[in-house]
Amino acid sequence: MAEYRIIADSSCELPQKYIDDERFVLVPFYLDIDNENIRDVKGLDIPELLAKITASKNCPKTSCPAPDTFMEYIGKGDAKRVYIITISSKLSGCYNSAVLAKKLYEEEYGDREVFVIDSLSASGGESLIALKAMELEEENKSFEEIKKELTEYRDSITTYFVLDNLETLRKNGRLSRMGALVASTLRIKPLLAGDRGEIIILEKAIGLKKAWNAMVNRIKREVENGKKVYNRRIIITHCNNPDGAEKIREMLKSTVEFKEYIVMHTAGLSSVYANDGGIIVTY
């Protein structure tokens, strides 16, 4: 058994080779579509989920794992050190739930070290932090060193995304009505970014391909201006858009040298917000 465990909520997507790895646990969100409560777990039928969202006149709702659920996973197995990574606290109550679980577990048991980190991101941002935690543990760093390095790494992460459908974000108040209306009627696709856990519009392009180009060009400029990426991975997460994700991967490979280019499909929670065709790039 591993001496450490990395727990994340189900906004975190993992590469296939880690899905059944005992070092990782993904705690499911619940997705509510027309009062149907769906657990965001491995094997969830994403095309069926998207069809239900499209057919519904109501906005899908999501609810985060309860503290008791996090407590259960903190206490499982023989792990001496536990890292909990959550979606941005500005998007969900998940971080607060995990912090409370840590406090309650330590008061009742206190037999292992627990670190909760707010990813200030979602999807690939959480994935990057989870994989970094694994790497630091495998380098035999101390718990305090890992906490410090993970926080510094989190603060260096950049998240961009281009969505073909902004309705869920608009309905949930994440995007202004006018922004969503313009995007849906005039084929203007905004390049969005995560800014300390909140969603902002950086620029607008006509069509997805031009928005993808704008995203790749921004990453190129950031690297040219001194952002260090060599020996770091970049994650491209897509919602039913493998061709678009592969196109962006090839564009990036010809522009910027990363250690690893990972392409993954969004899980349930990210699919709710990214919607069909959406692509998230995190590095």
Amino acid 111: pLDDT? 87
CA distance 200 to 16: 30
Question: At 204, is the pLDDT very low, low, confident or very high (cuts 50, 70, 90)?
Answer: confident
CA distance 255 to 8: 31
Amino acid 187: pLDDT? 74
Tens digits of residue pLDDT in 139-166: 999 999 999 999 999 999 999 999 887 7
CA distance 255 to 44: 35
Query: Considering the entire predicted model, what is its pTM?
Result: 0.92
For residue 17, pLDDT over 50 is answered with yes
Residue appearing with tokens 């970049």: 234
For residue 70, pLDDT over 70 is answered with yes
Amino acid 15: pLDDT? 96
Amino acid 166: pLDDT? 74
Tell me the average pLDDT of the chain: 91
Q: Where are the alpha helices (DSSP H) in 25-66?
A: 46-55
CA distance 102 to 53: 34
Tens digits of residue pLDDT in 210-269: 999 999 999 999 988 887 776 789 999 999 999 999 999 999 999 999 999 999 999 999
Tens digits of residue pLDDT in 164-192: 877 777 666 666 544 555 555 557 788 98
Q: In the CATH hierarchy, which top-level class contains the domain 159-282?
A: alpha beta
- Enter the tokens of residue 31: 């997705």
Q: In the CATH hierarchy, which top-level class contains the domain 4-29+64-156?
A: alpha beta
Amino acid 182: pLDDT? 53
Q: How far is CA 83 from CA 10, 14, 79, 90, 189, in A?
A: 15, 15, 10, 20, 36
> Which residues make beta-bridge pairs with 200?
193
Amino acid 143: pLDDT? 98
Amino acid 26: pLDDT? 97
Question: At 66, is the pLDDT very low, low, confident or very high (cuts 50, 70, 90)?
Answer: very high
Amino acid 186: pLDDT? 56
3-state secondary structure of 68: helix
- Enter the tokens of residue 169: 């974000």
Average pLDDT over residues 89-117: 95
Per-domain residue ranges for the chain?
Answer: 4-29+64-156, 159-282
For residue 62, pLDDT over 90 is answered with yes
Question: At 28, is the pLDDT very low, low, confident or very high (cuts 50, 70, 90)?
Answer: very high
The amino acid present at 235, given as its one-letter code, is: I
The amino acid present at 255, given as its one-letter code, is: T
Amino acid 198: pLDDT? 76
Amino acid 230: pLDDT? 64
Contact 11, 123 (CB under 8 A): yes
Amino acid 18: pLDDT? 96
Average pLDDT over residues 73-84: 94
What percentage of the chain reaches a pLDDT higher than 90? 73
Higher pLDDT, 134 or 206: 134
CB atoms within 10 A of CB 61: 15
Higher pLDDT, 180 or 133: 133
CA distance 112 to 254: 45
CA distance 147 to 83: 9
Question: At 96, is the pLDDT very low, low, confident or very high (cuts 50, 70, 90)?
Answer: very high
